[in-house]
Amino acid sequence: MNRPSVLTGILAVLCCFDRSLASSGDQSYVRSFVEESITWSCKRECKYRCMWKTVEAFSRDNLSIPQFYGKWPFIRLFGIQEPASSGFSFLNFLAQLIFCLTSWLFSTLFHAHDMAITEALDYFGALAFILASIVTMQARVFFKYQLLRHACTVFLVGFFVNHVRYMSFVKFDYGYNMMVAVFFGEFARTVQVCRLYHDLDNASSSLLNPILFLIR
């Protein structure tokens, strides 16, 4: 049994039950307040139910579970289609927000009053922001490899601590600090561009590719 036939069969069965065997009252889908607020439509509800019917069919046949519309199947919670992914994305947003605001605050203080402490905070804050961006980015790239994600995070934190130690107690080397910041900044940008092109290659519609590239 191939995947297209399974999907087609499930859709046909659901259509039959919804339109032929059910009463007129059962055919109408009543949305909750949360679903109304996030514009959850009857069509999207049908897609969601079909997805889980498909998952059940593939599980019974011992087939690997496919992705649906580019996503793995997750149970909706309070109208949220991917609760865990949404939660982690929000945490990433908070981390980026905190590091970004802190970095620019240190930069403002340094340019307002040039002192040894404000200079150090400006330089270290900028590098911390770049490294934090890499940490959140690699969590998306290596989301299936937990050990690798943790190893990358430990390495970057250790490198930052050692960098601060060297700059603070050995030599405040402007050239070295600039080289480190540029290297990690270009590394982050290169990985991000590669990931975007990979996502675009997997997009189902070539017409949407330019739009996806611009909004990401």
pLDDT band at residue 146 under the 50/70/90 scheme: confident
Q: Is 170's pLDDT higher than 80?
A: yes
Measured between alpha carbons, how far is 168 from 202 in angstroms, rounded to an integer? Answer: 46
Residue 71 lies in a domain: no
Q: For residue 136, which of 124, 123, 149 has the smallest C-alpha distance?
A: 149
CA 85 to chain centre: 7
Residue 77 lies in a domain: no
Angle between helices 3-16 and 42-60 (to 10 degrees): 130
Q: 151: domain range?
A: 83-215
| pLDDT at residue number 142 | 75
Report the predicted TM-score, pTM, of the whole model to 2 decimal places. 0.58
Residue 180 lies in a domain: yes
Number of folded domains that form the chain: 2
Say yes or no: 89 and 191 in one domain: yes
Say yes or no: 24 and 94 in one domain: no
Say yes or no: 114 and 157 in one domain: yes
